[in-house]
Structure 1
Amino acid sequence: MAKTRWGIISTALIGTGKVIPGIQRARTAEVVAIASRDQGRARAAADALGIPKAYGSYEALLADPDIDAIYNPLPNHLHVPVTLQAAAAGKHVLCEKPIGLDATDAERLLAVPKGIHVMEAFMVRFHPQWLRAREAARSGELGEVRAIQCFFSYFNTDPANIRNQADIGGGGIMDIGCYPIVTSRFIFEAEPQRVIALIDRDPVLGVDRIASAILDYGDGRRADFTVSTQLTPLQRVDIVGTRKRFEVTIPFNAPQAEAVTVFTDDGSELGDASAVATRIDPVDQYAEQADVFSAVVRGEIDLPYGPADAVQNMKIIDALFRSEKSGRWETP
């Protein structure tokens, strides 16, 4: 089987540390080139990762006829413009999350040329632990799922870090709040009807450093989450139904190519005494994502999530920021 040939835009750490190794583990993909605005940096990354070609500009990589798909892990304000540039060059694009600075920015991707595929890189949707969680919700194993609770935090106060630069899309909701939004949509298989947020901003950096939100999915269903860029690192998700709860213990940055454990619990005993563990065999969620997108590029399957889905996620984020200012429920 001919493999989909990938080019990587930039030497960003998310790419070199996680996504590129994931693509290289994929069954149907190969990384053939990487680009940086600094030729030396591109060459060093290529040598370290065993990538044949290194380009000193994004334009040179996009002009390479031997590349089928692009991975774009640039800072948030460059996601849409560089993705559009790649699409104009005839390349399919897997773009890092969040897809844009806001929904209006993201909507520009709805005009990509026909036949060019763009997908937001939410790798969690391809990890077996999340597929198992959705099946538990779908099947009725959990009863009627009415609540999803999430906590996700890390500590980073470096003003030079792009996550702490408000003008280019930094802050907790954009960086990690997008995960509980997309995964609650994934589990409920629905869209929130209204949202409300409580946000605290760093007085120097200007970014949201702690944010809590409620997403009302109607019919008594809700997701609530707290995310922070300035708290002890922690992550957890509980999906709670009328019969059981489903716990994802490492929901977002599951260790690559390692086994993980999820739990179901009917609450019949105190604490976790009634929890039943299920082992998920070793998997690389970035490799799974690459295989799916590679199959899309080769025309073997339909695109599971396109720009319209990404725009919807941005609309919810936009509504949370409106709620911060209004102090009221807002409609995405």
Structure 2
Amino acid sequence: MIRWGILSTAKIGLTKVIPALQNSRLGEVTAISSRVGEQAEKAARQLGIAKAYSSYEELLSDPDIDAIYNPLPNHLHVEWTLKALRAGKHVLCEKPIGMNRSEAIRLEAESRKFPTLKVMEAFMYRFHPQWVKAKQLIDAGTIGQVKTVQSFFSYFNADPNNIRNKPEVGGGALMDIGCYCISFPRFLFAEEPSAVMGFMDVDPQMRTDRLTSGILKFAAGKSSSFTCSTQLCPFQQVHILGDQGRITVEIPVNAPPTQKCKIILMVANGRKEIEFDAVDQYSLQADAFAEAILNNTPAPTPLTDAIANMAVIDAIRASAEQNTWINIE
């Protein structure tokens, strides 16, 4: 079993990831930390965690912890992931991996100094059976040559005190949820875009992008388009279109862990709904990462993928600011 330590009492950890780690096959949550000791103690009591630390440093020094889950604000991802590596811990870090491509490159370079430790960006959707099946259908040519991926992801949060609405810590629609919309076509096409065009609507008070749209240009005439927003009604969906059919992923990101979900396959001979039993994609992600640790195999997703995703995020932002296409090296 992999013994997990949790950096901070972030909501995503308390409500989604920690319960998933506790229910995983290969993991147990040993400790949680917060800069406010009372918060760590409260979370530990509520979730049945044995140890609560009043600082992140204390948690990292615990010899009974094998791996760290890092759900800190975006601007602290690289800093504390590196500190965890230097403390001899494996790290599963929330997305996006950093504030920009340069930070991601620095993390990857520094991580090479610790060849026995694993680091991975937590794009949990890739471990859900619905995405595994969608990728299998595409690779098998079921919908022909895939030409475009269209993604939409939104929620409404106009609270200026919410961390997602603070630009200095990496808030905004593009960083928080647009990173998924960029990851989807890269995962499905298994290649990187050559150029992007981005459009942003920035909240005049909070200065975060509240609506961002983008177009990604891939090789052989393929493309992807997306819209993400922090100030629209909640909605998410992905459409994958080929020259012989299409696939719709109804709940691409927040697939509920206690309910069945489905993807829809449309081809010449009709419509087919492919249903999946309820699973917790966070548990599946944790077990895949734990297997890499226990078997000393590469992390399921390498940091080079995180660098590439950040490169597109940077380019979308630059395109919106300059009102032009941006080529990606």
Q: Same fold by TM (over 0.5)?
A: yes
SS of match in other structure, 1:298: helix
What residue number does 1:37 align with?
Answer: 35
Correspondence 1:287 to 2:283:
yes
The residue correspondences of 1:1-332 to structure 2 (distance < 5 A) are 3-110=1-108, 111-112=110-111, 113-266=114-267, 274-332=270-328
TM-score when normalising by structure 2:
0.97
Q: Distance in 1 between matches of 2:273 and 2:297?
A: 33
Shift of 1:266: 2.3
The 2-side partners of 1:307 and 1:136 are apart by: 26
Q: Percent identity?
A: 50
Choose 103-112 or 186-195, whichever is displaced more: 103-112
1:240 is displaced (CA, Å) by: 0.6
Instruction: Give the residue type in structure 2 aligned to 1:87.
Output: L
Structure 1 segments, 4+ long, off by >2 Å, are 299-302
Q: Which runs of 5 or more residues in structure 1 are unaligned? A: 269-273
> Residues 118 and 298 of structure 2 are in contact (CA less than 8 Å); yes or no, is this contact kept in structure 1?
no
Distance in 1 (CA, whole Å) between partners of 2:256 and 2:189 is 25
Q: Secondary structure at the match of 2:327?
A: coil
Q: Distance in 2 between matches of 1:186 and 1:129?
A: 14
Aligned residue for 1:142, secondary structure, equals: coil
Aligned counterparts of 2:38 and 2:176: Cα–Cα separation in 1:
29
Tell me the distance in 1 between the aligned counterparts of 2:295 and 2:51: 26
One-letter amino acid matched to 1:7: G
Amino acid at match of 1:18: K
Q: Give the AA of the match of 1:323.
A: S
Q: Normalising to structure 1: TM-score of the pair?
A: 0.96
Q: How many residues align?
A: 325
- Equivalent residues of 1:164, 1:205 under 8 A apart: yes
1: CA distance between counterparts of 2:22 and 2:190? 31
How far residue 300 of structure 1 moved from its aligned partner, in angstroms, is 4.8
Moved more, 294-303 or 4-13: 294-303
Given that residues 35 and 55 in structure 1 are in contact (C-alpha distance below 8 angstroms), is that contact kept between their aligned partners in structure 2? yes
Amino acid at match of 2:305: D
Cα distance between partner residues in 1 of 2:122 and 2:165: 21
Shift of 1:265: 1.0
Q: 1:135-176 CA distances to partner (integer Å, 9 max, x unpaired)?
A: 111000010000100111001110011110011111000000
**Alpha-carbon distance in structure 1 between the residues aligned to 2:291 and 2:34:** 27
RMSD: 1.1
Whole-Å Cα distance in 2 between the matches of residues 206 and 173 of structure 1? 13
Q: SS in structure 1 opposite 2:187?
A: helix
Q: Structure 2: which 5+ runs fail to align? A: none
In 2, Cα distance between equivalents of 1:257 and 1:27: 17
- Mapped to 1, the partners of 2:181 and 2:158 lie a distance apart of 22
Q: Distance in 2 between matches of 1:297 and 1:4?
A: 8
Distance 1:116-1:300 versus aligned 2 partners, 3 A rule: closer
Q: What whole-Å deviation, never above 9, does each CA across 1:22-43 have from its counterpart, x for those lacking one?
A: 1111101111110011111101
